[in-house]
Amino acid sequence: MLIPSHAATRGGATTLAHLQARWLPWLLAGSVSLTTAGVQSTPVERVSMTTSSGGRLTADYRAAGPHAPGVLFFPMCRADAAEGWAPVAERLRADGVSSLIVRYREYAANATPVAGDQREADADAALAFLLARVPTGRAVAVAGSSCGVWRALQTAVRHPDRLRAVVAFTGPHTPAHVAHIAASPGLAVLSGSGVDDQPAPDWARELRKASGHPASRLLLPPGKAHGTDTFRDAPAVAAEIATWLTERLRPVIDR
């Protein structure tokens, strides 16, 4: 877990250990895994890839055709949250958008253990896998929830040339992420969280305020369910995110 550096400056001498103790339970909050309520299940391909560090990473790939754009999803950091983005991914596939949902090595029994922080290496490998299946000229978006927000935004910073949109749903970010959004008017941003899932709404508002893209928006559904757990009781939120992503990618979808 990465604590946003702007949070680390609050209160002056606040220590990293204190921040981790404060935020870790919040980032791991939530309950059960989700299903794609209201959306017919489609075949999912379990794929694997080798990272630049030599690690083996697995992911769930939903193909929408050889000419489809794609979305890379980073789930919450919790063993039962790997399927959290599935309701959005299923709707995207129905709309002609492929997707890849990363399975974090911490929760994958067959992942290769690698020493050190592997978040960027894992994200790069996952994006490369997806880009290899999205034709040149087709757009790609990235989305993250809870701890996955950092991974999604960091991927946007590291690969600005192919990313058209980013979804940041209920998770912390860094000043560098905000600066990148402010300097990237061509990058659409959907930021949000449950309106009572504090302090996530303020993080979402900060990202929305930084974006100059006309399609960027703030999504604050009722309740305090954390991250993609929101979709369990409010499937319309998953549908809304899927629609927003499809509209951002629509100019390059063959109709």
Q: How many CA atoms lie within 13 A of 214 on its CB side?
A: 1
Q: Which two tokens stand for residue 80?
A: 């039962």
When pLDDT is averaged across residues 163-170 and rounded to a whole number, the result is 97
Asked whether the beta carbons of 155 and 127 are under 8 A apart, the reply is yes
Digit-coded pLDDT (tens) for 57-72: 899 999 999 899 999 9
Digit-coded pLDDT (tens) for 217-240: 999 999 999 999 999 989 999 999
**Full set of structural domains in the chain with CATH:** 43-252 (3.40.50.1820)
Digit-coded pLDDT (tens) for 5-39: 333 333 333 333 433 444 444 444 443 333 334 44
The chain-wide mean pLDDT, for the chain, equals: 83
pLDDT band at 164 (very low <50, low <70, confident <90, very high): very high
45 membership: H or E segment, kind and range: strand 45-50
> How many other CB atoms sit within 10 Å of the CB of residue 72?
28
